[in-house]
Amino acid sequence: MRETVDLSPYVTAGPDGAARIELAVEGIHCAGCISRVEQAVRRLDGVREARLNFTTHRLSVAWDPRACEPSAILDRLDGMGHRAHPFRMVAAEDAEERRAKWLLRCLAVAGFAAMNVMLLSVAVWSGNVSDITPETRDLFHWISALIALPAAAYAGQPFFRSALAAIRARSLNMDVPISLGVILALGMSLFETATHAEHAYFDSAIMLLFFLLAGRYLEQAMRRRTRAVAGNLAALRATSAHRLEAGDELVTVPVDSLRIGDRVFVRPGDRLPADGVVLGGSAEIDESLVTGETAHRRAAPGQRVYAGSSAFDGTLTIEVTAVGGGTLLDEVERLLEKATAAKSRYVRLADRASRLYAPMVHTAAALTAIGWLLAGASVHTALITAIAVLIITCPCALALAVPAVQVVAAGSLFRSGVLLNSGDAIERLAEADTVVFDKTGTLTLPEPGIVNAGTVPAGDLEIAARLALSSRHPLAAALAREAGDRRPMAKAEEITGQGAKALIDGIEARIGSPAFCDATAEAERVAAEEPGASLIAYARGDVRAVFAVRQQLRPDAREVVKALAARGLKLMILSGDRASAVEDAALALGIADWRAETRPADKIATIEALRASGARVLMVGDGLNDAAALAAAHVSMSPVSGAEITQAHADAVFIGDRLEPVARAVDAAVRASRLMRENLLLAVVYNVIAVPIAVAGFVTPLIAAAAMSGSSILVTLNALRAGHGRRPALEQPSAMASPTLRREARAG
């Protein structure tokens, strides 16, 4: 059952008369989900367009308002198992998207102009050593000017605006020498063309812009991805609530109108609208977004519950205890803002280099012009030489040194199952010396699994798993994942609170509680073998089986932890789960430092204490309760199965059931960071050699542009090495976390 939501504030009208809405969709796990969701929505009457973005999990729908209601779209998605929430793009994200499109247009204009001007320049270069007439050369120069000047005026805006802002603030940045070099080169080229000179440098200026815009756009694309998912936090909130008025009359109201002390009725499938205390009813609730614990909790009278949690079965009446910015979800938001602001003060390697580089470039060019004038040269010669110095020292190689390595390393990490969210994630990953893991969903698999499936005959396991497909209980969901045949049993019936049953070949089969399946004795035996595990029983005729369900360590967790420790990294577990569960995982993995039952604020406090002691923390977590800690850490990673807001504030996301991408990311980052420094060194060495030659007047702006391009190609070729590093050596995958494994760990 889904909450009643007023969608009208989220619906916009398109120029074609169609209504449009953006929806944040839950449960999008693979590319196959895209076509399935899009096709299902398109089959609705009146729907003209449905596009699902896999990266942001957003569905854009356009429909004829006369033939379809927006609620029908949510109902269709709900029926497919995908909860959808109306989404409105925040202003910051909208601005990021507009800037990315603008940079791409600038890059396209610069590329188009560079290709055409270069064609004309090649004709002039070859003609100068053969038979080109001065009139033809002047014509080609004027055509180049007609192409380059408007193209540079448009494509150079990102640098011109930034340089102007820096000058107004009485400071220098990398965009100041870029802008000065481009403007002077274009101005001098225009003067040379008007005076019928042999050389013009329109190609140098426009090629310079193209190279720099390529680096700028790649960097912007990495930054933008973080905001693309971060805005989905609003979708975690309920937009309406069912308030109980006098006489227990049920009234649907906006969440913003709730007050402390109000009584709210929560139905199965509803997301809790506010923090509160349960007054009546009983239901299993999914608090994974809040606590990180994937196992459902039975909420009963007197217990606290939190906004953002989802009711699974049963109904609840809760008394509101926190609204209007006082909920746990709001606390997480505030912690996120504070942590993100602190992290934003990190100064990247390229930025640190540019602080010294820009003043040196201006000083060298100015001294060159002054020196030539004092030596008796003409103003024309002095300016040409100064422009050559500006162009040859233009920070193109410096601007590409870091982004080029980032792009190559990001591609290599993508092939290893790691997606980067942040442009400077690689630099910070390379600096990490301490790894802090969340437990549930991070060191363990995101969903609980059957740990004793091998003890049950394959035929009985298949029947039990197929019968479990007809039940909504979380333990049944764990059993259902063992099914090879994904077709539910015909005429299966679920009995609330007990289990499910069906008649198979004339014999009744049951799954559910041990009492429902008459398997109490078997349950006692399995409970002794797997203490702490949840149990689900199966019965068919005389056959009885009891399955133990628990969180399982990721298949390679033990080997990855050992590999990280061998690299000299300190390891810690920081979890919101109960102490016994965290201790079991820590013992199984050999991690001595662990803490349990920690709230979001506690996790941030621990990370800040580690930072104060000089540690640079890599935080790996997946739940909403980890989001603030991920933002506060020096660098962070999240599994793709984590909450969307957690992925948004992580610097990298890894895919799959294995933990190995974390170790690969650390190794790749160390290698890439080394290459970044090598590229910066190459840029410095190039300038040390090229600048004296340019100052001496042996380099024209044309040769300077060629040298500048050569240095850019050199650092790009060096950056390609970031994609050919060796993978970390790991042992074979370990066994799942089990009492046997834990006993071995304790004995060791």
CB atoms within 10 A of CB 107: 20
Contact between 628 and 603 under an 8 Å Cβ cutoff? The reply is yes
Burial (Cβ within 10 Å: 0-12, 13-18, ≥19) of residue 655: middle
351 catalytically annotated: no
Residue with tokens 């949840």: 534
Alpha helices (H) along 231-296: 288-291
DSSP readout, 530-596?
Answer: STT-EEEEEEETTEEEEEEEE--B-TTHHHHHHHHHHTT-EEEEE-SS-HHHHHHHHHHHT---EE-
Residue 499, sorted as left (phi over 0), alpha (psi -120 to 50) or beta, turns out to be left
Structure tokens at 553: 């360590």
Cα–Cα distance between 291 and 293 in angstroms, integer?
5
Determine the angle formed by the axes of helices 379-392 and 175-194, rounding to 10 degrees. 140
Cα–Cα distance between 255 and 267 in angstroms, integer?
15
Contacts 24+ apart (CB under 8 A), 63-70: 63/18, 63/19, 64/17, 64/18, 64/19, 65/18, 65/19, 68/44, 70/7, 70/10, 70/11, 70/19, 70/21
Please choose, from the candidates 37, 52, 421, 9, the residue with its C-alpha nearest in 3D space to the C-alpha of residue 229: 421
Residue 573, sorted as left (phi over 0), alpha (psi -120 to 50) or beta, turns out to be beta
H-helix or E-strand containing 316?
strand 316-322
**Active-site entry in 438, 556, 577, 667:** 438
Buried residues in 171-182 as b, exposed as e (16+ CB within 10 A): ebbbbbbbbbbb
**CA angle, corner 552, sides to 549 and 558, nearest 5?**
160
CA 496, distance to chain mean position in Å, is: 39
> What SS3 string covers 297-313?
EEECCCCEECCCCEECC
Residue with tokens 């905001």: 227
Taking each continuous run of H as one helix and of E as one strand, the counts in the chain are 24, 27
Q: Which residues contact 361 (CB under 8 A, 6 or more apart)?
A: 177, 390, 393, 394, 395
Cα–Cα distance between 639 and 443 in angstroms, integer?
10
CA 175, distance to chain mean position in Å, is: 29
CA distances from 102 to 95, 182, 399, 616 (A): 10, 20, 19, 36
Cα–Cα distance between 548 and 534 in angstroms, integer?
6
Cα–Cα distance between 239 and 646 in angstroms, integer?
21
Cα–Cα distance between 351 and 339 in angstroms, integer?
21
Q: Is the dihedral of CA 86, 89, 93, 99 positive or negative?
A: positive
> Rg of the chain over CA atoms, in angstroms?
32
Structure tokens at 747: 């004995």
Q: Which residues contact 475 (CB under 8 A, 6 or more apart)?
A: 448, 534, 535, 536, 549
Cα–Cα distance between 477 and 549 in angstroms, integer?
10
CA distances from 177 to 99, 158, 391, 393, 395 (A): 22, 13, 9, 9, 8
DSSP readout, 198-231?
Answer: S---HHHHHHHHHHHHHHHHHHHHHHHHHHHHHG
Catalytic positions are 438
